[in-house]
Amino acid sequence: MWQQPTSLFTDHYELTMLQASLHSGAGHRRSVFEAFARRLPDGRRYGVVAGTGRILEGLEHFRFGAEQLEFLERNRVVDSRTLEYLEGFRFTGDIFGYAEGDLYFPGSPILIVESTFAEACVLETFILSALNHDSAIASAASRMVAAAGSRPCIEMGSRRTQEESAVAAARAAVIAGFSSTSNLESGQRYGLKTVGTAAHSFTLLHDSEREAFEAQVASMGRDTTLLVDTYDVEQGVRTAVEVAGPELGAVRLDSGDLVEQARWVRTLLDDLGNHNTRILVTSDLDEYAIAALQSAPVDAYGVGTSLVTGSGAPTASMVYKLVSRRNDAGEFVDVAKAAKNKSSVGGRKFALRRLNERGRATAELVGVGERPAGDANDRDLLHQFVDGGELLPGWTGHEGVLRAAQRHHDSVQELPGVARRLQRGEPVVPTEFVDEARQAGAAL
Amino acid sequence: MWQQPTSLFTDHYELTMLQASLHSGAGHRRSVFEAFARRLPDGRRYGVVAGTGRILEGLEHFRFGAEQLEFLERNRVVDSRTLEYLEGFRFTGDIFGYAEGDLYFPGSPILIVESTFAEACVLETFILSALNHDSAIASAASRMVAAAGSRPCIEMGSRRTQEESAVAAARAAVIAGFSSTSNLESGQRYGLKTVGTAAHSFTLLHDSEREAFEAQVASMGRDTTLLVDTYDVEQGVRTAVEVAGPELGAVRLDSGDLVEQARWVRTLLDDLGNHNTRILVTSDLDEYAIAALQSAPVDAYGVGTSLVTGSGAPTASMVYKLVSRRNDAGEFVDVAKAAKNKSSVGGRKFALRRLNERGRATAELVGVGERPAGDANDRDLLHQFVDGGELLPGWTGHEGVLRAAQRHHDSVQELPGVARRLQRGEPVVPTEFVDEARQAGAAL
């Protein structure tokens, strides 16, 4: 998966903080860091946790080898004592968090890292990069899947985002319910199903559309998907049916008014006897366009740009904050920044999703300092991923993706129906902080 | 740079097209593909080309090794004949394009790939991934640098984007004029200057703000940057000055009303005798916030989220189209898709930036089929990067970044002053297609 150390996917200041904290000695204090989002992207009803599996995969490679140390030394990023510390660096703490694919709301403690300050501090940037990107994509993808109902969504956005982001985006989309992706690297790394047939260039390469279709069918079989809008759509459909016959798998429409076009193309296909030929549409779709196409005879949606850019919310605004740490007496002290527009709640968190007797979510309960008592139906949201530096099984690789996709499917089922509305609104359930130790509750 | 093959950063359909074109024989036709943008992001005055150096670096690693071939075979992505072709794959054609860092406008032929269809086709996804992402970031960065005038901008967005995108974003930002980045990996790969000192967690780790500042100064020296807004800003500034004295390098403000705050913090620093202590601001800045801060006594801007998400335009909407290819008689035939909302201009392109006698840009001249005659002042925009599969020197690595940053700086100087306005508007110069062979000109 990772073929090089992930340790320099890190902000410079994580290492200078490390140096200063080793110098003061405070770097060895046991600490609790928490990743959470203060808010959902504007108007979203819920967020989707993604990236956790990639973080755990990357953690194994979060090492400072000769090349990394030489860079840090040459550029005097840190002093020799810190270089020595980094040479032997290996995360030895505990990591807890929401299962990948589960939903989150403002204040949900999505990932909790418990270790020395030194160990948790240097992981900050890498953890946030993965969570912020992947969760943004999964959150957008989940809305598209909801809009598409039973029709499959295919991820096709690789060309619109950085090449490694494309792999992560394909993975996040599949977690959120996409059926497949065009991205081959994600197929190799995560075992995702990859699909694709041809672009306009293939038609233009040949001397006529007919020759192109003949070449494609000869090479890929009659059940392939022919792209019919390079010249004239009606003629394209007729030629496609003439070339491939009644077994033609699908036609793809990539331009024009898709709702109207899908209707008459369906009629034309049926008139030509191609009742089993499907219609795939792919032109700049987002969740709103998908919703508008639900009344049209479309069989599958290919989604590109808007998926990989988070459909208006390309990052999830998650932060990673120190919420508790030991003092010299060995006692944990809860801490939080005081700044008015960036406040957070100190203390180790615990989380339950409150479910009513019909299994519907009604609140996100976040316990401060201890697990809220909870009701019989409540679902515990925190799982342990890493124990004393050892990765626990089941959260990474192909297995992790399958498990996350199932988790996502099940968690969405728990939401009230209003969650599937695309209109802007409040988070579909409120977050309630429960601070039983202090006999106080507060709603965010 | 690349430690694994880049060949699977590719859409599934590139390889199925390859298979079908090898089958029909048309895959061996000499072809011209062109990367261009039909439009700039909504309201932008110019775009910035970035990603070219990364494409050229990745091209060297665009190979199909045993692992890639095994994946393609196992998943029956392509047939055995195509696998054989891929086993020996190496790009042997020519690549031309705009110098990285230069500007682009609608229709500018940013990258031109001339080779067999087969070779050019499989590069599509990787080329577009790099161009679309990196150009989006550089285009946003250039506006921020313009807004900041002589004050330095520091790239700090790694945590808000996927970890590899973060490296590419840091690189693109520096090309567009950012002075430095927080991203260590970009320092290692491209020799970018990296900077950083401490976050709120460092202050919260210690028993008091004073202890934290003392620890930081003891470890990093008095000329460090102290983050003063964890608790109370005024007290933070006073403590910082008490601890570090008149040599304190800078204070960082990361919350609140930055304009007002910068003013009174400057006054306070001056009153305390710290005339040389600078003020760095870093809270959710974009080009508009930077512009609003220009009247405040700020010394540097740290920019995160809005930089790495392209400040509202996270992808550059570039496409890669077959514009010309040989027929069986060996003649080049210009080709273009007919679809109404996605039209393009067929034919190999040439490009000049028309400059007036004062060296100001007045138009983007795009020649179809041949280089436009041009005036004495006009600047040729196309450079050759790859010749018969061989990478030409100077466009990659640290050298490539330095050269691109210089090119960007010089190209921005050529623009009329209106280009620096942040308001939405038309592209600052028009694109004029010149088709002298056909005695016709057309404006886009």
- The pLDDT tens digits of the residues spanning B116-162 come to 999 999 999 999 999 999 999 999 999 999 999 999 999 999 999 99
Contact between A13 and B164 using a beta-carbon 8 Å cutoff: no
The model's confidence at residue A344, banded by pLDDT at 50, 70 and 90, is: confident
Q: Which single residue is written with the structure tokens 């909407």?
A: B317
Q: Give the pair of three-digit tokens for residue B142.
A: 């250039």
The model's confidence at residue A342, banded by pLDDT at 50, 70 and 90, is: low
In angstroms, the CA A6 to CA A14 distance is 14
pLDDT reported for residue B216? 98
Contact between B205 and A29 using a beta-carbon 8 Å cutoff: yes
pLDDT at A440 over 60: no
Using DSSP, state whether B357 is helix, strand or coil: coil
Q: Which residue from A159, A164, A337 is facing B11, i.e. has the nearest CB?
A: A159
Scan residues 161-190 of A and list those with Cβ closer than 8 Å to B: 161-168, 182-185, 187-188
What is the least distance, in Å, from the CA of A383 to any CA of chain B? Answer: 23
CA dist A62 → A91, A266, A430, B10 (Å) = 8, 53, 36, 27
Cα B151 to its chain centre, rounded Å, is 21
pLDDT at A293 over 90: yes
Q: What is the mean pLDDT of chain B?
A: 95
pLDDT at A104 over 80: yes
**Eight-class DSSP state of A156:** -
Nearest CA among A122, A103, A99, A112 for reference residue A45: A103
B chain contacts of residue A134, beta-carbon cutoff 8 Å? 162
pLDDT reported for residue B343? 63
What is the least distance, in Å, from the CA of A301 to any CA of chain B? Answer: 16
What is the least distance, in Å, from the CA of A5 to any CA of chain B? Answer: 10
A chain contacts of residue B159, beta-carbon cutoff 8 Å? 11, 124-125, 128-129, 132, 320
Cα A163 to its chain centre, rounded Å, is 16
In angstroms, the CA B133 to CA B378 distance is 29
Q: Give the pair of three-digit tokens for residue A142.
A: 């989940």
B chain contacts of residue A337, beta-carbon cutoff 8 Å? 200, 204, 230
CA dist A79 → A22, A90, A120 (Å) = 11, 19, 19
In angstroms, the CA A237 to CA A277 distance is 11
Q: How many CA atoms lie within 13 A of B309 on its CB side?
A: 27
A chain contacts of residue B338, beta-carbon cutoff 8 Å? 230-232
pLDDT tens across A19-28, in order? 999 999 999 9
CB-based contact (8 Å) between B69 and chain A? no
Contact between A8 and B129 using a beta-carbon 8 Å cutoff: no
pLDDT at B441 over 70: no
What is the least distance, in Å, from the CA of B398 to any CA of chain A? Answer: 14
What is the least distance, in Å, from the CA of B416 to any CA of chain A? Answer: 30
Contact between A341 and B255 using a beta-carbon 8 Å cutoff: yes
Cβ distance B213 to B239 under 8 Å? yes
Scan residues 233-292 of A and list those with Cβ closer than 8 Å to B: 254-256
Q: Are strands A379-380 and A349-355 parallel, antiparallel or unpaired?
A: antiparallel
pLDDT at A180 over 70: yes
Scan residues 340-369 of B and list those with Cβ closer than 8 Å to A: 340-342
Size of interface A-B (CB pairs under 8 A): 343
Region B336-351: mean pLDDT is 80
pLDDT reported for residue A267? 98
Neighbours of B349 (CB within 10 A): 27
Q: Give the pair of three-digit tokens for residue A216.
A: 């494609």
pLDDT tens across A378-412, in order? 999 999 999 999 999 999 999 999 999 999 999 99
Q: Are strands B431-435 and B361-368 parallel, antiparallel or unpaired?
A: parallel
Dihedral angle over CA of B137, B142, B148, B149, nearest 10: 160
pLDDT reported for residue A343? 63
CB-based contact (8 Å) between A2 and chain B? no
In angstroms, the CA A374 to CA A352 distance is 7
Determine if residue A277 is left, alpha or beta; phi over 0 gives left, psi from -120 to 50 gives alpha, anything else beta: beta
pLDDT at A60 over 50: yes
Q: Which residue from B182, B305, B336 is facing A315, i.e. has the nearest CB?
A: B305
CB-based contact (8 Å) between B67 and chain A? yes
Q: Give the pair of three-digit tokens for residue A23.
A: 């110098």
pLDDT reported for residue B2? 66
In angstroms, the CA B29 to CA B39 distance is 30
Minimum mean pLDDT range among A36-45, A271-280, B204-213: A36-45
In angstroms, the CA B1 to CA B398 distance is 11
Q: What is the value of pTM for the model shown?
A: 0.97
pLDDT reported for residue B443? 46
CB-based contact (8 Å) between A398 and chain B? no
pLDDT reported for residue A1? 61
Tell me how many degrees the CA angle B27-B32-B33 measures, rounded to the nearest 5.
95
CB-based contact (8 Å) between A23 and chain B? yes
Cross-strand pairs, B103: B48
Task: Evaluate whether ipTM surpasses 0.95.
Answer: yes
What is the least distance, in Å, from the CA of A275 to any CA of chain B? Answer: 25
Look up residue B142 and give its amino acid. S
Cα A235 to its chain centre, rounded Å, is 40
Look up residue A334 and give its amino acid. D
In angstroms, the CA B365 to CA B431 distance is 6
pLDDT reported for residue B292? 97
Look up residue B229 and give its amino acid. D
Mutate which: A7, A72, A127, A204, vs B, most B CBs within 10 A: A204
pLDDT at B319 over 50: yes
**Which domains does chain A carry?**
12-137+313-345+376-428 (3.20.140.10), 149-311 (3.20.20.70)
What is the least distance, in Å, from the CA of A69 to any CA of chain B? Answer: 10
What is the least distance, in Å, from the CA of B77 to any CA of chain A? Answer: 8
Residue B251, H or E segment: strand B250-253
In angstroms, the CA A365 to CA A71 distance is 45
pLDDT reported for residue A443? 46
Region A117-132: mean pLDDT is 98
Region A325-335: mean pLDDT is 95
In angstroms, the CA B106 to CA B442 distance is 13
Burial A411-422 (b: 16+ CB within 10 A, else e): bbebbeeebbeb
Alpha helical stretches, state H, B111-162: 117-122, 124-148
Contact between B162 and A165 using a beta-carbon 8 Å cutoff: yes
